Each structure stands twice: as C-alpha cells, then as structure tokens.
Chain A
C-alpha cells in the first residue's frame, strides 16, 4: 500500500445524511471473493436506472464530478453493515479522500486500513465545501503531514487524526506486519492467561 502525504484532486459533493454501506455497495455485489473490481458497482442503485442507463440526477453522474477523487458527504457517512467492500468500491472508483462531519466507526477503520483518508471536519466547514463543490469543478489540496486542507481561493481547514492512523497512512504500512513485532507480548499474554 502506497502512503498518502499530499493529495490534490477534484471534489464531489454528496449532501446526504446517514449514507449506509448498503447504498455504497448493494448486497448483490458482495459475493465476489476478490478485493478489486468493485468500483463499477459503487452506489449502484442510485447511480443507474433499472434498465442500466445512468441516473443523470445522481451526484457522481454530473459532468463536473467526473474524475473526482475527494468525496464530501454529510453526517454519519458509512453507517450500517461492516462490509469492507464499501471502501474497496470507493477506492476502486477513484476516491482517495472522504470528508464528512462524522463517520460510522467500522467504516472509518475500514477506510484507514485501505489507505483511504477519512477526514472529520466541523459541520460548518463541511457545509462550505458542499456548497463550493455543488455545481462546478472544485479542486482541493489535502496535506496529511500538516493536517490541513485548502483551495486556491483562500479556503483552509485543519483536521485532527489519531497519530497512529496518521503514521500508518503516511507510510502505507501493513498493520499485520507492525503487530507481528509484538509477537513476544502476545505470546506472554497468552501464557499468563493460560489461553
């Protein structure tokens, strides 16, 4: 997994609350045993009509949102099912950063573990971004090392992130390898509890 330090990209706004992972990737696509190829199914029921044609009203189908790599959404993004297929689909589609006032816990963890930067911003800031990206192409720069995001017209916001996740994202570390360094601690713990 490659690390993220600075990411510059176009922003797609999705002003919806409680977007659940059943919407991000509907259940009929969870039967695959691979990790890749889920982007084509992202937001499937919202993105396509029953006959397979594009739903032009859907946010991601609007012309100014093509090639977006940053998604801005509203409250409680990623709630519901634990399916990691949701971040896999978002990433495969091209999103590397997701911004919202808050995220569902499991979804947040799933993002970090896949190298997607999920940024929690105060609601006013999110609302500002939702407006800016609503109708025209809007570009934003995210600097993880500095923990800031900004545009070329004076918008700036700082964000907080757990230092552990930050380090992992910056370096693109494989968490299992990191944990295996604690093998001795784990073995001792098992002995002590007679597990």
Chain B
C-alpha cells in the first residue's frame, strides 16, 4: 500500500468528481459563515431562486463587527445592518446561527473547535482566511471568497486544484517562556510570507506533538500568513482528549468509533511530501514583529534591521518602507520601543491558555502610565470561564480593560482601534498597514509578551521580566 499524508487521505475521501485536466469537485463537511463575507452570497441564492443544500452542515456566527464594550449597543448603522442581514438570511434559509444573544457566539474560528463542530478528517471552509485554524484537529480547512461561499451554500462542494504538500518540521522542544505564537512567527520570519503559496502545510515534529490543542490552533491559524492554502496537524490522543464530550461530537460508543477512524488519518510513517523545511525550536526566542507583514519579525533581543546592511535593492526598499510606516530608526533594539496600546485577543490568541498566560504576567502588577491595554476573549464561553477563574479581576486590578468577545482590534471593524501614529503590541495575526486603524503601528507578539509590554510600557523579554511566567 502506498504511504500517504493526511492531506492526501482527506482529499481522496472528499473527491466527488475527478476528471482529467480539471480541478476536483470536493465535498465540504462543514461550512462556517460570518456576517462580513456572506450577505452577497445569500443574495446570489435569492436572485437565482436557489436554496442552501445542507443547512445541517452550515453554521453561522457574528464576530467581526460586534462591539465588545456592550454588544447590544451598535452605533454603526451599516455594521448593524450587516448583522441583521445575517440573522435574516439564516432564518430565511434555515441556517443555524449563534447570534449576539447566543451563549455559543464568538470568533468563528474559536467557536468551531469549542463546540466540537471542528473534527479530524473533515473538510471545513469559511469566507475567512484564518479558517486554517481548524487544521489543528487534522481537518482540511481553508478560507474562501464570497463567490465560493455561494457555491458551497448551493452545492456543498467546491472545485479545487490539488495543492502541493509541504512539511514544516519543528525539531526539538520549546525553550522555557517561548510559546506557540513565537514558533509560528519565527517560521514565517525564516521562510517568508509566500513560502506556502499553492501548498498545504503539515506541521510535524516533537515541538508540535507536545503542544496542547490551543497551541496547535495558534500555529495553524497563521499558516495563511505563510501564503499556504491550509495548515494542519495529524490528530493524536491530545486531539481526541480535547474533543471528548463536546456538544457536536459523537458521544459514548459512537465517539470511540469515531476515534478509531480518526486515528487512521495521521500521515503514514515514511509518506513523502512535495517539500520539507525544518526549524529548530530550541533556537527560537520570544518574537516581536517590527514591520508591516508577519515575516518582518525578530527575537526580542534583536535589533530592527538596517536597510544599509542589505545588498538587494528590493529588500532595501521593502525594509525602508516598513520602517518608515512603523516610525522606527534602523538598528534600534526592539526593547527600546515604547507602546501606547496593548491588545490581547483574536482567533490567534484569545483562548483560555492565552488569557491565563497573560494574567500570570499581569497579576499583582500595573499597566504602565500612558498605556491602554485591552483583553478581548475569543468567545462568550471563554469569557465566562475566565471570569469563573477570576482572570477578569486580575486584569481589571492591573488596569486592563476586560471586554466581551469578538474580533475587535484584530481588524478594527468594530469601534475598537489604534489612533494614527500610535503603537500597539498585539496578539493578533496581521501587522499590515492600517489593519488596526489608519496609520496604526502593529507589533505582533505572544499573550505573555503583550502583557509584559503593557506593564513595562515597552517591549521586554518576558523570560527575564518575571520568574513567575517561566513554566
């Protein structure tokens, strides 16, 4: 029998039609929907008199526009209309929706796993590029555009050309104080923002195996920042343990049967990938990005690059432009850079372990004067759980704002944003120009590093900042 990767196994199992010279028609097991990229798709159905083929395989929520101060006070009329439109569409087409009132609501990529909708071996799509997050469970999960959303709503399938397989092997184990976020930032810094284009990444290696599901989600979440179509991790006991008992997962004996099937999915020993790259976990430091794409990052003890050190004209220009936007002087140690805002949240880092890591740093300390720091849990369930553990109080005592769930300042479609020219340490996934507000300067970091920056008022190495944060 030929040895196969998990990518090939899922692909083959979901191929409905394959004809030579054509993309394959893939069946989609789960379609997640949110308010921003769906209205035009539902409108398309209406115009052509079509219905949603499998409402039972479709699940909607609201996250991007949701205000996090008081989710019921929506001052932005257009945002409100977009959310109302989703409610109406879901009602008209019979799609389940976790709306603002629902205890299940939250960021789409946080609630899928939380509810157990996300499962190994599934094909999962959403009109959102960070759908790769669900790959942490050994699902083939990728972002699609609105036309494809309409296509999946009508047919429950998609035409897809088979991507290449790319193994990212993370050797060794994580050093103390270094997190999953630092690993994925270091991978993108090393290999670039388009090294994954046209490929699906499988993350392998000891460091990945030793990660919790929440950490794996952080890693897979940012696969798209490497340009990959998707990123996934073969399921194992950690995966099954996480899923057991969740709302939409088979229960009891059925669960055991499912686990048996899921076990078969893992990449066969000796299966070949089109390409493999390696990185050594023990050499990774806590990361901070200095530029305007996620590959422009360095270790916290590094200095901002100097364009003069580069020979290639394109590199020089790219660095100059980024430094100019970011308002940074070449060769500045990143620990000299002061921040005015701190954002802990987003589908990358807003789960319980992220909030706990940040709270551990914040506990008994105070946010530096002049810094506005905000914690936005990824879902309403996480919010409640964190409150039950008293984390909200830890944050509030330290001077952080404690909000309701949503995407918030990850892309600032809701009222939360960073003013022009100001600087933010953010646990989100994109430091693009204007992402957190026009002229806003975003530095991507882990939750612990973000909390430490809030307290210090500048970037600090969280490992030396407090013994308490070291595992």
Seen from chain A, the residues whose Cβ lies within 8 Å of a Cβ on chain B are: 17-18, 20, 22-23, 26-28, 30-35, 45, 50, 75-76, 79-84, 87, 102, 104-106, 109-110, 113-114, 162-164, 175-176, 179-180, 182, 185-186, 189-190, 193, 195
Contact = CB atoms under 8 A, between A and B. Distances in A.
Interface stretch (B242-250, B328-336, B397-405, B432-440): B432-440
A89 to B, nearest CB: 13
Contact of A176 (B43, B48, B79, B430): B48
A164 B17 contact: no
A110 B158 CA distance: 13
B27 A186 contact: yes
A33 B247 CA distance: 32
A159 B157 CA distance: 29
B412 interface: yes
B154 A105 contact: no
B96 interface: no
B147 A114 contact: yes
Given A113-B148, A179-B159, A189-B16, A33 B227 contact: no
A180 B16 CA distance: 13
B203 to A, nearest CB: 18
Interface in B41-71: 43-44, 48, 50, 54, 57, 64-65
A162 B198 CA distance: 14
Given A82-B144, A186-B27, A162 B161 contact: yes
B82 interface: yes
A20 B432 contact: yes
List the 3 shortest-distance A-B pairs measured between CB atoms, nearest first: A110-B145, A113-B147, A33-B39
Given A80-B129, A110-B147, A179-B157, A28 B23 contact: no
Contacts of B85: 33
Contacts of B150: 176
Contacts of A84: 37, 40, 127, 145-147
Interface residues of B, number: 64
B145 A182 contact: no
A106 B145 contact: yes
A162 B19 CA distance: 13
B92 to A, nearest CB: 14
Contacts of B127: 82, 84
A112 B438 CA distance: 30
Contacts of B50: 176
A176 B159 CA distance: 10
B141 to A, nearest CB: 12
Given A22-B434, A82-B128, A164-B21, 19 more contacts: A27-B412, A27-B413, A27-B435, A30-B36, A45-B438, A76-B194, A79-B194, A104-B194, A106-B129, A162-B161, A164-B159, A176-B44, A176-B48, A179-B154, A179-B157, A180-B155, A182-B155, A186-B16, A195-B54
A114 B157 CA distance: 18
Nearest to A86: B145
Contact of B37 (A83, A87, A102, A179): A83
B145 A32 contact: no
Nearest to B83: A31
A110 B143 CA distance: 11
A146 to B, nearest CB: 19
A23 B434 contact: yes
Contacts of A186: 16, 25, 27, 155-157
Nearest to A175: B151
- Counting chain A CB atoms within 10 Å of each CB, the highest count among B16, B151, B411, B433 belongs to B16
B318 interface: yes
Contacts of B16: 182, 185-186, 189
Contacts of A17: 314, 318
B169 interface: no
